[in-house]
Amino acid sequence: MFMKIYKKYLLADLIKINLLLLFIFSSFYFLVDFFDKLGEFLSFKKPFYLFLDYIFWKSLTNLYEFFPFVCGLSGIILFLWLTRTGELLGFLSLGFSKKELISLTGKGICVFALLLGLAISILFPKAAFLSLYTWDYRIAEKREQYLVFNEQIFIRGPDFYLIAKPLEPKGEYLQDILLVFINKEELKKIIWAKEGFYKSEKWFLKEVITQEENKNFSPEFFKNLEANLSIKPETLVMVEKPLKFLSLKELFERYKFLKMVKRPYKEEVAEIFLKVIYPFLPLFLGFFPTMIFIKNYTPSQVIIPFFKGLIWYFILLTFCLFLQTLLRKGIFVAGILLSFLIFISFLSCFFKKIW
């Protein structure tokens, strides 16, 4: 019973440290965004509530970006604080082993990161989209169509999927067109075209290949093809979300479609993987630096063990970001390695007998 009370006390302090760090980093990013955008906002002469709306959604977007790193840092900050107050020495004097303290802190980081990380992950796609939409459309009054100009777009309609690259801002001239018609998720027709333009409510396609279900998907080739398609240019006039801003559901739908039409889907798989491991990153970043700090701690040696832990934290952080970059470039070995390291952290945290 006595031990349980002190464990609750330690975990309560861990939560306080996490919340304090999140508040500090959120405030810093808030101030940076506020003063960075304020001058430009004032030039648009818009109601100030729009600026606050933008800052709110941008702050949530920023929270998603730095949450794993801040949460991972909380372990060594917690024990640094406990050494300053003498409580760490008190825990050890009461019979807590260093292993027990390290394991308990790791479990606390893991649970906190899972609960809050999942909530942030759910909010992030909406927050990221609304921050872009609020600034570019409601404040700067850029026409929404300009956000997709000269970028590959991916659109799902009621009975079709479209991948294309707009060559002008109104969506009336497209390049590298892939259009797939479906019925109850069953493939019915595929149209490939090098380019196409919209005129007089019709699409005029060049260098076209069509495949239809009723013709056993045998390819038919056309130099030019005039088509009455259900897709209108205004359908393309939308705020296109970057891949990173998509939800897991949206990413999975895009992955299924790209796989179905045999188009590259490495980026989608990488983003799905990164979103799945997102809540586990704090444990990977925080467990081993905390272990190094506590293992080397003595009442007369605090600063050096702390800096050792901090150095290892930044080494792991750099390595983690490097692996994420490789993964986004389609090098899936990086994802396997990152998964393995997270798994080792998890085992070490929950099964302290192995170390």
Closest listed residue to residue 189, CA positions, set 205, 198, 178, 197 = 178
Cα–Cα distances (Å) from 293 to 56, 79, 155, 290, 297, in that order, read: 36, 8, 50, 5, 6
**Burial category of 169 from C-beta neighbours within 10 Å (exposed 0-12, middle 13-18, buried 19 and up):** middle
pLDDT at 169: 57
Specify the DSSP class assigned to residue 198: E
Q: Centre a 10 Å sphere on the Cβ of residue 24 and count the other Cβ atoms it contains.
A: 11
Structure tokens at 192: 């490939």
For residues 100, 105, 111 and 112, what is the CA-based torsion angle, rounded to 10 degrees?
A: 160
Determine the Cα–Cα distance for residues 97 and 94; give it in Å rounded to an integer.
9
Residue found by looking up tokens 């050792």 in the block: 308
Closest CA to 22 of 76, 79, 64: 64
Helix (H) or strand (E) holding 100: helix 98-133
Residue 218: pLDDT above 80? Answer: yes
Output Rg (C-alpha) for the chain, integer angstroms: 26
Convert the pLDDT of each residue in 259-295 to its tens digit: 876 778 898 899 999 999 999 999 999 999 999 999 9
Digit-coded pLDDT (tens) for 94-131? 788 898 899 999 999 999 999 999 999 999 999 998 89
Lowest-pLDDT range of 16-30, 78-92, 241-255: 241-255
Q: Where are the domains of the chain?
A: 2-141+271-354, 149-237
d(CA 163, CA 242): 14
Task: Place 143 in a pLDDT band, splitting at 50, 70 and 90.
Answer: very low
Which amino acid is located at 329 in the chain? K
Interior CA angle at 323 toward 319 and 329, to 5°? 150
Neighbours of 149 (CB within 10 A): 17
Q: Tell me how many degrees the CA angle 240-178-158 measures, rounded to the nearest 5.
A: 65
Q: What spatial distance separates the first Cα and last Cα of the chain, rounded to whole Å?
A: 26
Task: Write down the pLDDT at residue 274.
Answer: 95
User: What share of the chain in percent tops pLDDT 90?
Assistant: 50
Q: What DSSP string runs through 209-255?
A: EEEEGGGTT--EEEEEEEE--S--HHHH-S-PPPGGGS-HHHHHHHH
Instruction: Note the pLDDT tens digit of each residue in 292-323.
Output: 999 999 988 899 999 999 999 999 999 999 99
Question: What is the SS3 assignment for 164?
Answer: strand
**81 or 238: whose pLDDT is higher?**
81
Residue 300 three-state SS = coil
pTM: 0.78
Nearest-CA neighbor of 257 among 151, 181, 174? 181
